[in-house]
Chain A
Amino acid sequence: MKFHTNDEKPVRRPRAHVLSRKMDRVFTELYSIASFIGRFFKEVFLPPYEFKEIIRQCFEIGVKSLPLISLTGFIIGIVFMNQSRPSLAEFGATSWLPSLVSLAIVRALAPLVTALIGAGRIGSMIGAELGSMKVTEQIEAMEVSATNPFKFLVVSRVLATTFMIPALMMYTMLVALLGAFLNVNANEGTSFTTYFTQVFDAITFLDIFSSVIKSALFGFTIGVVGCYKGYHSSKGTEGVGKAANSSVVTAMFLVFIEELLSLQIITALR
């Protein structure tokens, strides 16, 4: 809090000046993010390659997310099937339930839910981890011991998220379809074979392929945002909290924007 004596009145800056400083900050930040991404693409192709660290990160990001992804995917399958039933039942079209649900899960729900869970769990984890490494000088310690911290910490994590989010998405897809099957089997008595025949009749290669590509993009975004926020955090423990928080918020926001854009592109392709 700033105190002023009677003689000294607070200086009011013209609004245009404040706006210009804000715009400066926005463009500086955008330039910084673009440089960060540019550096990633430069470093990713240059040796030495951090295979061990990439595999370790894939385990941390992929395998350790399985319990949460399993539970969420399974529940989404059941709930979506349940919520879709009344609408189709009005037209006597409950036999279309497997087709409808599979299209929704494969095209939108599985990629989006996986990305959102990824942004929450993985984005915050990366942001907090790198943030605390930054404020406790661990990143500098790596640099002075002749290790490229960008390659070791950032490249490995961004690659891991880019590979693992599509893999997790495929797994979510499968679990959600199984959840939906249990629901439709319990209510309509649809057999496993009939259900999956209808599911695979409804979806095309483009549906799965586009979801995989979209998830890779989501994964890349989650990784880059988490690493960027963590790598540039400051102001001690407060900065670490902010890095973790803004990693999640920014990644989720960008995932939705990307989902909208990819929807337009895929619809045009279809």
Chain B
Amino acid sequence: MKKTTPVIDTANSVINIRGLEKSFGDLDVLRGVDLDLYKGENLVVLGKSGTGKSVLIKIISGLLKPDAGRVTVLGQEVSTLKGRDLDQLRLKIGFSFQNSALYDSMTIRKNLEFPLVRNRRNLTRAEVDKMVEVVLDAVGLSQTINQMPSELSGGQRKRIGIARTLILQPEIMLYDEPTAGLDPITCIDINNLINEVQDRFHTSSIIITHDLTCAKDVGDRVVMLLDGQFQRQGTFDEVFNTQDERVKLFHDYNFIN
């Protein structure tokens, strides 16, 4: 599926990060990261494994605390939020985990219902069922509703993971390695789904990946995380039009090997 031209409001930044730093012991992972995610945009964060890409989105969603710097999401500074205020913000952020993180002990229906019934307690049974149907239909997996996560393939699990985040109708989507461990055809399906989510649900997204095909297919803008900082940003072609060996190596490995 060809990506349609999204409506990006560059005057309206939904995520604003300034001077973000994070270390684990002696290891400085993020060293003064600045980033803006604009409304309606798909922003791809590229980088080698272990460069702190996942750490970045975990800080955005409040799962990790930064050592220094400011992360503002939808006008609220994440590190100052606690309890109910943080939960209210989290309802507006969908987080798709690298390994899908589906609840093993629940059926697909229960997995999808879980965030809904806990956060929208006033919904009737029929409304919950309807919303489950809608998101399952959006990811094209209506037939799996009564299956257990262990009965699904890797690609199906990813799709259900995305459906579970969509059920709360988030404004922002954070995808952690959405195509990791999948075959090329399923990767294309997931890329199409990410674009479809952007079109249909009007989300702004950060996609963490080291898969350049994914970056090219879904990214309106690409940033590259090198040595704990964003070294390059722009369109896919702009980022890779460089003599920087570290960037060229990344490109050549993906497209030549």
Interface centre among A137, A141, A147 (most CB of B within 10 A): A141
B104 to chain A, nearest CB (A): 7
B residues contacting the other copy or chain, number (CB 8 A): 24
A197 an interface residue at 8 Å Cβ cutoff?
Answer: no
Chain B residue nearest in CB terms to A143: B63
A residues contacting the other copy or chain, number (CB 8 A): 13
Binding site secondary structure of chain A: helix
Given A144-B95, A145-B168, A136 and B101 touching (CB < 8 A)? yes
A88 to chain B, nearest CB (A): 50
Given A132-B104, A136-B101, A138-B101, A146 and B95 touching (CB < 8 A)? no
B232 to chain A, nearest CB (A): 29
B135 to chain A, nearest CB (A): 13
Instruction: Write out the residue numbers on chain A whose beta carbons fall within 8 Å of the beta carbon of B97.
Output: 137, 140-141
B217 to chain A, nearest CB (A): 25
Interface centre among B88, B98, B103, B164 (most CB of A within 10 A): B103
Per-residue contact bits, chain B 83-110, to A (CB 8 Å; 1 contact, 0 not): 0000110110101011101111100000
Chain A residue nearest in CB terms to B168: A145
Known: A138-B104, A144-B90. 12 other contacts (CB 8 A): A136-B99, A136-B104, A138-B103, A141-B97, A143-B90, A144-B61, A144-B95, A145-B115, A145-B164, A146-B91, A146-B115, A146-B118
A-B contact pairs, 30 of them (CB 8 A): A129-B105, A132-B104, A133-B103, A136-B99, A136-B101, A136-B104, A137-B99, A138-B101, A138-B102, A138-B103, A140-B58, A140-B97, A140-B101, A141-B95, A141-B97, A141-B101, A141-B102, A141-B103, A141-B164, A145-B91, A145-B114, A145-B115, A145-B118, A145-B119, A145-B168, A146-B87, A146-B88, A146-B90, A146-B119, A147-B118
4 smallest CB-CB distances across A and B, nearest first, come from A145-B115, A141-B101, A146-B87, A137-B101
